[in-house]
């Protein structure tokens, strides 16, 4: 396996920069950079780095001897003060040696090829690096601990057992009445497995949706304070604030983190019956946004007729009642005591903390709590697509058994499912597929 190198931290000035080298010539490269360095496996040592007697930087040199490294190869990491000038000097020096700059995901590819991780674990690492959501990160961590791989191996064992029992009927057709070959029992076992697949796909789709960002739509009559509220939540002027009706004509999207959850707020056009042609287009977009939203915040102007506003939005609150939070805005301007249970805020005065708490509580008790954590083991669109494909093939096998198809046809179809499962774990893959898969991963990983 060729020796590769790459900057594994971001290509920006920062506190610490790291360059990794991995492969059979790693130690030769390090001796070239640090002539006086003694190679000690699994060690960390401080060294001054010089090129042609010119001092470059103070560095830490980490050495890992195969197979006790992430990649399974001889590995060295050079830690330096995070200047890109220093980083580029080291990279320029490495480029003159008989080693290759790593492609995206190539360190992880080495780890996979050396049996340090399986394919589901590599995808877990990539998801853990890229996700901005705590819930998806937690699931990725479990898969890094091989939860998904263990589940798939259990399915493989089950299907291999089924094939062996069907093979008895193929090899000894006169003995199909043996207890080991009970096609009705086999079919029932496959139906239970199919149900497990459906649960996993369903729950994993939910968590993946949450991981991509929770969508919250802000609705209300014009000038209810939606744009002001959005700006206060984001702590920046993202939406237009004006006293004129219909100022927001497009759905304005902005994202923020609340309690480690990525949330996209969608400031909609003020919903009212009348308006110009451009404004009506904005209102149409607002209604489309409501369908996709995970949460809808109905902002009521506390200085106007509350009952009238509720009446205007009655259809929306009825259609989406399970995801609507009603909040009364401009509480600082309300002179009379309003007796209701609405959440009262003042966007203008930045008095929005209770609303933020309510949003977090809704996410964690109604959105995240909806999925069965033990079933949410798929963390990428690719994995869900693979499981959907297997589910369809398993459904077909059950239908073949119900239709009394010959055992060799049934056995063949189950074998195609096994091949798909092997592929998910990274077994029986050709090199081109492996390269294409890992090339989509992070640079320096």
Domain of 146, CATH number, reads 1.20.120.430
Residue 441 lies in a domain: no
246 carries a ligand binding annotation: yes
23 carries a ligand binding annotation: no
380 carries a ligand binding annotation: no
Residue 219 has phi, psi (to 5 degrees) of -130, 165
Please check the confidence at residue 148 and state whether its pLDDT lies above 80: yes
Residue 391 lies in a domain: yes
224 carries a ligand binding annotation: yes
Q: How confident is the model at residue 172 (pLDDT cuts 50, 70, 90)?
A: low
Q: Is the dihedral of CA 349, 353, 358, 364 positive or negative?
A: positive
Same domain, 34 and 136: no
β-sheet bridge partners, residue 164: none
Same domain, 202 and 222: no
Please check the confidence at residue 426 and state whether its pLDDT lies above 50: yes
226 carries a ligand binding annotation: yes
In degrees to the nearest 10, what's the CA dihedral of 382, 383, 386, 392? -120
pLDDT digits (tens, 9 = 90+) for 20-40: 999 999 999 999 999 999 999
Domain edge (last residue) among 328, 348, 368: 348
pLDDT digits (tens, 9 = 90+) for 379-399: 899 899 999 999 999 999 999
Same domain, 62 and 88: yes
Q: How confident is the model at residue 406 (pLDDT cuts 50, 70, 90)?
A: confident
Same domain, 92 and 130: no
User: Which one is predicted more confidently, 222 or 171?
Assistant: 222
270 carries a ligand binding annotation: yes
Q: How confident is the model at residue 417 (pLDDT cuts 50, 70, 90)?
A: very high
Same domain, 342 and 224: yes
116 carries a ligand binding annotation: yes
One-character DSSP codes across 2-18 = --EEEE-S-SS--SEEE
Q: How confident is the model at residue 206 (pLDDT cuts 50, 70, 90)?
A: confident
Angstrom distance (rounded) from CA 186 to CA 182: 6
Same domain, 106 and 191: no
Angstrom distance (rounded) from CA 36 to CA 314: 78
Q: Quick one: pLDDT at residue 27? A: 96
Please check the confidence at residue 81 and state whether its pLDDT lies above 60: yes
228 carries a ligand binding annotation: yes
Same domain, 174 and 83: no
Domain edge (last residue) among 87, 116, 145: 116
Please check the confidence at residue 214 and state whether its pLDDT lies above 80: yes
pLDDT digits (tens, 9 = 90+) for 93-130: 999 998 999 999 999 999 999 999 998 999 999 999 88
Is 186 in contact with 413 (CB distance < 8 Å)?
A: no
Residue 437 lies in a domain: no
Joined together, the tokens standing for residue 206 give 């939910």
β-sheet bridge partners, residue 61: 45, 78
- CA 55 to each of CA 5, 52, 58, 89, 326: distance values in angstroms, whole numbers, following the listed order: 22, 8, 9, 11, 64
Same domain, 176 and 247: no
Angstrom distance (rounded) from CA 138 to CA 237: 33
249 carries a ligand binding annotation: no
Domain count, the chain: 3
Q: What is the pTM of this model?
A: 0.75
Same domain, 326 and 224: yes
5 carries a ligand binding annotation: no
Q: What is the mean pLDDT of residues 276-300?
A: 73
74 carries a ligand binding annotation: no
323 carries a ligand binding annotation: no
Q: What is the mean pLDDT of residues 5-33?
A: 96
| Residue 77 lies in domain | 4-116
Is 11 in contact with 443 (CB distance < 8 Å)?
A: no
**CATH classification at residue 57:** 3.30.1360.120
264 carries a ligand binding annotation: no
Residues 6+ apart with CB under 8 A from 280: none
Strand 214-219 relative to strand 261-267, pairing: parallel
Same domain, 75 and 138: no
Q: Quick one: pLDDT at residue 370? A: 65
Q: Quick one: pLDDT at residue 405? A: 84
308 carries a ligand binding annotation: no
Angstrom distance (rounded) from CA 144 to CA 123: 8
One-character DSSP codes across 299-351 = EEETTS-HHHHHHHTHHHHHHTGGGEEEEEE-GGG--SPP-S-PEE-BTTTTB
Same domain, 317 and 242: yes
Q: Quick one: pLDDT at residue 12? A: 94
243 carries a ligand binding annotation: yes
Q: Quick one: pLDDT at residue 240? A: 44
Q: How confident is the model at residue 278 (pLDDT cuts 50, 70, 90)?
A: very low
269 carries a ligand binding annotation: yes
Residue 438 lies in a domain: no
Residue 309 lies in a domain: yes
Domain edge (last residue) among 70, 92, 116: 116
433 carries a ligand binding annotation: no
273 carries a ligand binding annotation: no
The residue assigned the tokens 């360095």 is 37
Please check the confidence at residue 302 and state whether its pLDDT lies above 50: yes
135 carries a ligand binding annotation: no
9 carries a ligand binding annotation: no
Q: What is the mean pLDDT of residues 186-205?
A: 92
Same domain, 380 and 330: no
10 carries a ligand binding annotation: no
Residue 383 lies in a domain: yes
Q: Quick one: pLDDT at residue 50? A: 95
Is 185 in contact with 256 (CB distance < 8 Å)?
A: no
pLDDT digits (tens, 9 = 90+) for 215-273: 999 999 888 988 889 888 888 655 444 444 444 445 678 888 888 888 999 887 555 44
């Amino acid at each position: 396996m060729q020796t590769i190198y790459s900057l594994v931290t971001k290509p920006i000035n920062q506190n610490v920069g790291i360059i990794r080298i991995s492969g059979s010539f790693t130690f030769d490269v390090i001796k070239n950079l640090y002539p006086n360095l003694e190679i000690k496996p699994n060690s960390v040592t401080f060294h001054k780095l010089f090129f042609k007697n010119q001092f470059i930087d103070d560095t830490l040199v980490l050495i890992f001897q195969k197979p006790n490294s992430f990649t399974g190869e001889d590995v060295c990491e050079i830690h330096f003060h995070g200047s890109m000038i220093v980083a580029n000097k080291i990279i320029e020096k490495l480029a003159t040696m008989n080693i290759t700059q790593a492609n995206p995901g190539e360190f992880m590819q080495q780890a996979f090829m050396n049996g340090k991780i399986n394919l589901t674990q590599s995808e877990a690492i990539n998801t853990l690096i890229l996700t901005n959501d705590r819930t998806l990160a937690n699931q990725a961590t479990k898969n890094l601990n091989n939860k998904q791989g263990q589940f798939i191996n259990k399915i493989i064992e089950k299907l291999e057992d089924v094939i062996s029992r069907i093979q008895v009927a193929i090899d000894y057709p006169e003995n199909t009445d043996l207890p080991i070959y009970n096609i009705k029992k086999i079919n029932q076992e496959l139906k239970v497995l199919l149900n497990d697949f459906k649960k996993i796909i369903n729950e994993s789709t939910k968590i993946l949706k949450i991981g991509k960002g929770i969508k919250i739509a802000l609705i209300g009559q014009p000038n209810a304070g939606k744009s002001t509220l959005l700006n206060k939540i984001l702590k920046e002027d993202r939406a237009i604030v004006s006293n004129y009706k219909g100022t927001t004509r497009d759905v304005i999207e902005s994202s923020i983190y609340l309690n480690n959850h990525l949330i996209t707020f969608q400031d909609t056009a003020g919903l009212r019956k009348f308006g110009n042609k451009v404004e009506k287009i904005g209102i149409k977009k607002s209604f489309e946004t409501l369908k996709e939203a995970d949460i809808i915040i109905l902002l009521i102007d506390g200085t106007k007729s509350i009952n009238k506003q509720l009446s205007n939005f009655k259809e929306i609150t009825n259609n989406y009642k399970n995801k609507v939070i009603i909040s009364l805005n401009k509480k600082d301007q309300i002179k009379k005591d309003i007796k209701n249970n609405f959440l009262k805020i003042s966007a203008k005065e930045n008095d929005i903390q209770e609303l933020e708490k309510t949003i977090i509580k809704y996410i964690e008790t109604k959105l995240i709590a909806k999925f069965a954590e033990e079933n949410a083991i798929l963390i990428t669109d690719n994995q869900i697509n693979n499981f959907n494909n297997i589910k369809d093939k398993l459904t077909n096998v059950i239908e073949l058994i119900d239709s009394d198809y010959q055992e060799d046809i049934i056995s063949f179809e189950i074998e195609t499912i096994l091949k798909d499962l092997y592929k998910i774990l990274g077994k029986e893959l050709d090199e081109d597929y492996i390269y294409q898969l890992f090339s989509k991963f992070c640079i320096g990983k």
